[in-house]
């Protein structure tokens, strides 16, 4: 099972629903954005980051400079509440460094930070 996430940098950082985003600022140059995500999810841009049997993460970047990042979270056999907390902390920290906001594709809601 997987969960899709879009990371953007809305000009209005208070937005809680992706459908309300009217304009975005770039997240940064591809090299910078890649470095940030690889710091938290090592290898996610070259294939996948794996956290044991808990979960894996794949990332695709759009634009140069990067306008958006699409992250796919794959749930592993050992997915637990602790796995979810670990993932949430990693995602929130990556978003803070980038100044971005993560939204769930499933219902457009803000999930981090």
Q: How confident is the model over 10-63, as pLDDT tens digits? A: 999 899 999 999 999 999 999 999 999 999 999 998 889 999 999 999 999 999
CA distance 83 to 110: 19
DSSP state of 47: S
Confirm whether pTM is higher than 0.85: yes
Question: Class for domain 2-112, per CATH?
Answer: alpha beta
- Asked if the peptide bond before residue 65 counts as cis, ω within 30 degrees of 0, the response is yes
Q: d(Cα 11, Cα 43) in Å, to the nearest integer?
A: 29
**β partners of residue 109:** 17
Helix (H, G, I), strand (E, B) or coil at 69: strand
């Amino acid at each position: 099972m997987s969960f899709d996430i879009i990371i953007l940098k809305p000009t209005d950082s208070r937005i809680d629903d992706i459908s309300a985003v009217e304009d975005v600022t770039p997240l940064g140059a591809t090299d910078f954005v890649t470095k940030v995500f690889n710091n938290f999810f090592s290898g996610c841009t070259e294939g996948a980051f794996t956290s044991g049997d808990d979960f894996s993460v794949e990332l695709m970047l759009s634009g140069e400079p990067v306008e958006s990042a699409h992250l796919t979270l794959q749930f592993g056999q050992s997915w637990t509440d602790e796995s979810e907390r670990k993932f949430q902390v990693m995602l929130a920290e990556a978003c803070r460094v980038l100044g971005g906001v993560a939204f769930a594709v499933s219902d457009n809601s803000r999930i981090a930070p």
